[in-house]
Amino acid sequence: MSDRLIMKLRVVSARLTTPDVLVLDLQHPKRPLLPAWTPGAHVDVMVAGGVRQYSLWGDPEDRAYYRIAVKREAGGRGGSKWIHDHAKEGSELHVSAPRNHFGLDGKGGRHVLVAGGIGVTPILAMSRALAAGKADFTVHYCARSASEAPLLDELRTVCGDRLTTWFSQQGRRLDANTLLAQAAGAELYTCGPNSLTAALETAIAAQGFPVELYHREHFAALSDADFVPDSFEAVIASSGRTLHVPADRSLLEVLRDNHFVRGSSCEIGVCGSCECGYVSGDVIHRDAVLDLKARASRLMPCISRARGTVTLDL
């Protein structure tokens, strides 16, 4: 169960923007307007055996279409391959209404946007909004080469000379420290692979860049191959009941088994659907959604765990 409406949308256009990135235009077969959204929003796409998140990169003013870009992830869980194989012009995709965890906060000031590869999608929608609002902004786009940079032409059209490209095949690599020094006082938004956000976050820590100015979107679970899950106890605050969470099961699964209905979608800690409050406990946060402040009282039971006992606000 998702707490967003799921629509059966029609693929009205499917084209490759790079050899491994498929761009889809989606339309509602019965309604002229799709639910409204804001730059940075994503939709859930139902795929065989699961759900995947894709940012909308089109123009929110044009509510006739949702535009997404899907990179075929060879080493992924199979969802993107399924979309590449099944999404053809005229076919149907089951798509949720949009949700935004990565919105522009609307402050005036200067904005620096950093995209890596397929992470360009929300950055493109944000750039369009900033350009329309005559905001002071710059965009940095990192990819291996121009031919492997999804939606590069679209981004150029929107940004003009505000765009700087960093193509590693040309020997140009973004230096996070230099970028941050130039971005002093600006709002910094980034979406890209974990290697890009990790480099930025290392530089942020080293330079003392204000964390409240830093906004990032993750579309991969945090990589922590060394994490060894342990069993723990979850106490339901309202009833005092204790549920045992074995090492090989998620808190979400145990809650469900005990008839605590929770929405969920990605189940890897990136979508935010199953968010739950907690009252006390030593929580091991493993999601990519909650910020530090939220983590004091909220957790994502699909992926996060606890040491010993956690008391849930349920």
Partner 1 sequence: MTDEASVKQIEAFAHPAAQAALGVEGGTTGWKGELLHIHIAPAASYEMEKLAVATCVAGRGIEGDRYFLGTGTYSTRPDVRQITLIEQEALDALARNDPPLQESPVVLAPEEHRRNLTVRGVPLNHLVGRRFRVGEVILRGGRLNFPCKYLEKLLDRPLFLPLYNRSGLNCGIEKGGIIRPGDLIELLD
- Binding-site ranges for partner 1 (CB under 8 A): 1-8, 94, 96, 259, 261
Least CB distance to partner 1 at residue 295 (A):
22
Q: Which is nearer to partner 1, 138 or 264 (CB)?
A: 264
Q: Which is nearer to partner 1, 37 or 141 (CB)?
A: 37
Least CB distance to partner 1 at residue 63 (A):
15
Q: Which is nearer to partner 1, 4 or 81 (CB)?
A: 4
Least CB distance to partner 1 at residue 32 (A):
14
Least CB distance to partner 1 at residue 277 (A):
14
Dist. CA 143–CA 221, nearest whole Å: 21
Dist. CA 45–CA 161, nearest whole Å: 34
Joined tokens for residue 122: 């929300």
Block residue for tokens 């469900």: 256
Q: Which is nearer to partner 1, 6 or 220 (CB)?
A: 6
Q: 3-state SS of the chain: helix, strand, coil percent to 5? A: 25, 30, 45
Block residue for tokens 């990790």: 198
Q: Which is nearer to partner 1, 97 or 149 (CB)?
A: 97
Q: Which is nearer to partner 1, 6 or 131 (CB)?
A: 6
The total of other beta-carbon atoms located within 10 Å of residue 310's CB is 24
Start-to-end CA distance of the chain, whole Å, equals 18
Dist. CA 83–CA 90, nearest whole Å: 14
DSSP 8-state class, residue 99 = B
Q: Which is nearer to partner 1, 154 or 267 (CB)?
A: 267
Dist. CA 196–CA 198, nearest whole Å: 5
Least CB distance to partner 1 at residue 179 (A):
36
SS3 187: strand
Instruction: Locate all alpha helices (DSSP H) within the chain, ordered by sequence.
Output: 79-86, 120-132, 152-159, 176-182, 194-207, 251-257
SS3 48: coil
Least CB distance to partner 1 at residue 236 (A):
17
Least CB distance to partner 1 at residue 28 (A):
9
